[in-house]
């Protein structure tokens, strides 16, 4: 399994855990942490995370002042329909 596949699997598990716990967001720092665990740079991890939008997650991207994003608020109905997961 390559780094990107490992990252997407770990990301899927992290998002699933959050949704099941009713935590409907993930921070940029948390995405970077998942990336580090998959041996990816922070930039690679955030780029790959954004590339999985519509496949692994859907929601609102919260930007900060320097045009980067700080967190994503997940769409719980999308998860319910796509993955059969309803938040607490």
pLDDT in tens, 43-78: 999 999 999 999 999 999 998 877 789 999 998 788
Q: Which residue shows structure tokens 């997940």?
A: 74
Beta strands of the chain (E only): which ranges? 25-27, 59-63, 69-74
35 contacts 51 by C-beta, under 8 angstroms: no
C-beta neighbour count of 41 within 10 angstroms: 12
The whole-number pLDDT of residue 77 equals 83
Tell me the average pLDDT across 24-45.
Answer: 95
**Residues 6 or more apart from 10 whose CB is under 8 A from it?**
34, 37, 38
22 contacts 88 by C-beta, under 8 angstroms: yes
Query: Looking at the predicted structure, is the pLDDT value of residue 39 above 80?
Result: yes
């Amino acid at each position: 399994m390559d780094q990107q596949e490992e990252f997407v699997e770990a990301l899927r598990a992290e998002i699933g855990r959050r949704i099941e716990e009713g935590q409907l967001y993930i921070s940029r720092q948390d995405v970077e942490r998942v990336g580090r665990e998959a041996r990816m740079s922070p930039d690679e991890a955030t780029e790959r995370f954004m590339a999985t939008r519509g496949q692994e997650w859907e929601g609102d991207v919260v930007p900060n002042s320097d045009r980067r994003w700080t967190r994503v608020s997940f769409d719980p109905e999308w998860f319910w329909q796509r993955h059969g997961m309803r938040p607490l």
